[in-house]
Structure formats: structure tokens, C-alpha cells
Structure 1
Amino acid sequence: MEVSDVHHAYRKRQVLRGVDLELRKGLVAGIVGENGAGKTTLLSILSGELRPDRGRVRHSGELGYCPQAAVLNNSLTVNQHIDFFKTARCLPDLRRAGEIMELLQFREYAEERVGVLSGGTRQKLNLTLALMHDPQILLLDEPYQGFDWETYQRFWELATRLREGGRSVLVVSHLAYDAERLDLLWRLDGGRLCAQTTGRTE
């Protein structure tokens, strides 16, 4: 993914003032910034949900997008959500979804209605729906919100597997959790991205 000189404003409030980034294959990268810095706006532009006022976003391969607020139907079960996305994505089977559910350990909730699930389990489903079509680029907005420690560790295991499979992962958060696990880290400040140091070494 290549992003060049992206700008966006809400009326007279300029949120993004020339964002540039390059996300190569096989990398796990992060963007941090204060609340209101424009992180969700940037992710919406990268995912194609929002058009920038100026600038360009280019990418090859399919995208997976996991928004901070899960767009789920409380009346449907976990399996019904997964079946719906299988049809929408024209997937031949649910093998990939099953692998992610096993890793995140929530198969026992497959027949539960989403409305009765905890916030952490809803987020597991949110992540599964973003990944079940095996996208080349995964965009995550506060992905581990509501996770307990074990699930948090499993999330990073999943991110590592994606990296090893040549996928690109972009994690957006207001805090630089586990910066040592990232290949790249940027801070969104004043509408621009500034490179930060990570603890990860090759």
C-alpha cells in the first residue's frame, strides 16, 4: 500500500495535512496518536470508505478492515454472520474462518446470538470477519479492545502468522502497545505521520 499526500478536513477543521506512508508485504506496522488526531479518518480513507480531499491511496490485493466499532447484528448468531460473509465474499468454504476461531478460542459461541456476547468476544468475531477471505492487507482500528491477556497474546500470534505469510498488517491505536512487536511505527500528530523507533530487530 502506498499513500501520497492525503488531506482531509471536516468543514474548516483540517484533520489530515499531507499523510505519506508505504506499507510493504510481510510487515506489521502501527500508527499511534491522541484521541481526535485523525486515526479513524485515515483508516476510513485507506479502506475506501471515505474519499480524501486530496492525495492518493494505491494498493494491490484484497483488503480486510476491522473497525473499532464492530458492525454486527445483535439478532444473528456468530455462525450466521460468518455464513453471510461467506456468501458476500463468494468464498468456497469456511476453512479460514474456522482456523481463526480456533486460534482466538471462541468456537463454543458459534450458535450464540451476538447480542448476548461480551465485548471481547464480539471483537473476536469482528476480527474473524475481516480475515476470513485471507486479505493481503489488514487494517485494524483498536483491534484488541476488550481482549483479556490470553486473547491479547493470541492476537499477536495471529499477526506474526500473517507477517510470515507475506501479509501486511496495520494496527491503529491511541497507545503504542508492544512497539517491540512492530516492524514500523508512526505517530499521527498535526495531521502528518512521523516515524518512531520500535524495539523490533531483524
Structure 2
Amino acid sequence: MDDAITVSGLTKSYGRTAAVGGIELTVARGEIFALLGPNGAGKTTTVEILEGHRFRDGGEVRVLGEDPGTAGRAWRARLGMVLQTATDAAELTVSETVRHFARYYPNPRDAGEVIEQVGLTDKAGSRVRTLSGGQRRRLDVALGMIGRPELIFLDEPTTGFDPEARRQFWELIRLLARDGTTILLTTHYLDEAEALADRVAVIARGVIVAEGTPATLGGRASAETTVSWVDRDGRHSLSTSDPAKLIHERYTAGAVLNELTVSRPSLEDTYLELIGEVR
């Protein structure tokens, strides 16, 4: 099948400031794709262009086979969006809000089922203005998925969630992906990207500086391993491309390796190094 998103040479400037400077990007159908980057990197501008909310200056963009800049109402009904900020009818209840949004779509999910999936069943009869920040965020997610979208944009979706709620939300995202929904996720939580994403891209200063699976991004898979241990002389750390050989040599020589750890660079380490290269 064709890709859900293809981007070639995407550019966008605001006055003399180039927000996006020639992005190349492909997201396969059914994929969970995470777009990472610091504030001001061009991430939000890129996503807004893909959503059809902002016009580009140059480049080619196709989302679900159409140009977001000219696509019509039927195309928009195939998308779901969870924005960083959203307006709502504060006096409506959670149930009323979800059912109201369901009417905008030709084939919506069952409202009660969606409310249950986002963990708001106990709040279904509560007015939106009475919800906590995390509960309002769950409602945003419910509105993003009610239309049974082929592609859903999740912009910082778990902001305000406690750790347990975040894990529950991750399971919901995995469920959507298993149903064939393509998901483009932006997040500042690197553990979230590592737990959910099939592939990750890092954007900085308007360009993609690295792309790959969470395990291989920025050369993580081939990066040197750090072996640390404690002996009578204190703590030691050595970098090596062959940790098994190093440990074997130390044991053969009679060394005592207490508190032994073997670690490669974390996704956070790699991310910080990548965005640091273009500062």
C-alpha cells in the first residue's frame, strides 16, 4: 500500500526566519512514527502543514494520498488530531461533548466505548469545566479518535498524565496501531517515544538530523558500550566495542567485579547529542 505521509523538500519561512528548511520524510501506513525536537525546531510547523492547518512555501507533501493544502472535507474526516491546546464547550458534559463530535464523522466509534478507553467513564456525566488538566487531556484524546481516523496526529498527548495514566494511554495507542491506524506522535518524553514508536526522527533548526528505529537512532546500536564495576580500588568505567571480551579478561585475571553494569547510550543521550550538533 502507499505510504500514509510523504514529504519532499518541505520549506516554510516566517519573514526572514526559516522555520522548516527542506524536510524529507516518509511514514508508512500502520506505523507509529515519533517526531522529536526541541522547542523552536520546526516540529509544530511541520505537523501543522501535514494537518492542512498551515500552507507551505515549497516542497511536495502527500497525506493519505492528497495534498493537505488543497484537500477537502472528505479527506479531513479521515484524520484525527490531538492538539497541544484545544477549545471546548465547558458547560457540556464529557458524554455530550464526545457524542457531539461523533456527529461530524461518517463512521464514528461508539462514544461510550471511546470514553471508557480513555478512562473517563466515571466522569461521563461531569461538565468539562470541572475536569482536571489530565482528565481534559484524556477528553482531547477521545475527540481525536472518535471519528475512526486512518491517521491520527498526537501532539504531546500525555502532558498532565500521571505515570499510571501514561502507561494506560500507551496501551490505547498500541491498540489503535494494531487496528491499522497510522500515528504521528510528537513528544518530549523520550521514554514514550522509545516505548511506542516503530521509527523516530529528530528535527533541529528545521531539518531532520537523524532518523531510524529507537534502538538504532544516531548509531545507538553500534555505539561503544560502557562497562562499570567496583573493586577494592573504587569504581571503574571503560568504553569498549566488545563488552563480553572485556569482562572475560577481567574475570580471567582474577578481578572482582562488584556492581557490574553494561550500558549503551540511552535514547536521551543520543537525542541530546544530535540536537547539540546543530545549536
What is the TM-score when the length of structure 1 is the normalising length? 0.90
Which of 172, 180, 185 is the equivalent residue of 2:186? 172
Could you say which residue in structure 2 is the equivalent of 1:199? 215
Asked whether the 8 Å contact 2:115–2:124 carries over to 1, the reply is no
Could you say which residue in structure 1 is the equivalent of 2:117? 103
Structure 2: segments with no counterpart, 5+ residues: 65-74, 217-279
Deviation at 1:140, TM superposition (A): 0.8
Query: Closer, same or farther in 2 for the Cα pair 1:196/1:90, shift >3 Å?
Result: closer
Alignment root-mean-square deviation, CA:
1.8
What is the TM-score when the length of structure 2 is the normalising length? 0.66
Structure 1 residue ranges (4+ consecutive) displaced by more than 4 angstroms after TM superposition: none
Could you say which residue in structure 2 is the equivalent of 1:70? 86
- Which runs of structure 2 are paired with 1:40-79 in the superposition (5 Å)? 40-60=44-64, 62-79=78-95
- 3-state secondary structure, aligned to 1:111: coil
Do residues 131 (structure 1) and 145 (structure 2) align? yes
Deviation at 1:57, TM superposition (A): 2.0
Which of 6, 9, 12 is the equivalent residue of 2:16? 12
- 3-state secondary structure, aligned to 2:138: helix
Residues matched between the structures, number:
198
Asked whether the 8 Å contact 1:68–1:143 carries over to 2, the reply is yes
Do residues 153 (structure 1) and 157 (structure 2) align? no
Which of 20, 31, 36 is the equivalent residue of 1:32? 36
Which stretch of the first structure deviates more once superposed, 140-149 or 3-12?
Answer: 3-12
How far, CA to CA, are the matches of 1:82 and 1:181 in structure 2? 26
Could you say which residue in structure 2 is the equivalent of 1:141? 155
Could you say which residue in structure 1 is the equivalent of 2:249? none
Q: Deviations over 1:23-56 (max 9, x none)?
A: 1122111011111112211111111111111122
How far, CA to CA, are the matches of 1:20 and 1:76 in structure 2? 42
Q: Deviations over 1:163-182 (max 9, x none)?
A: 21121111102342331431
Q: Which AA in structure 1 matches 2:57?
A: D
Asked whether the 8 Å contact 1:139–1:170 carries over to 2, the reply is yes
Query: Closer, same or farther in 2 for the Cα pair 1:21/1:149, shift >3 Å?
Result: same
- Which runs of structure 2 are paired with 1:182-193 in the superposition (5 Å)? 182-193=197-208
**Which gives a bigger RCO, structure 1 or 2 (Cα 8 Å, sep 6+)?**
1
Asked whether the 8 Å contact 1:28–1:182 carries over to 2, the reply is yes
Query: Closer, same or farther in 2 for the Cα pair 1:199/1:102, shift >3 Å?
Result: farther
Which stretch of the first structure deviates more once superposed, 137-146 or 60-69?
Answer: 60-69
Identity, % of aligned pairs? Answer: 32
Query: Closer, same or farther in 2 for the Cα pair 1:4/1:98, shift >3 Å?
Result: farther
Asked whether the 8 Å contact 1:182–1:199 carries over to 2, the reply is no
Query: Closer, same or farther in 2 for the Cα pair 1:103/1:199, shift >3 Å?
Result: farther
Deviation at 1:120, TM superposition (A): 0.6
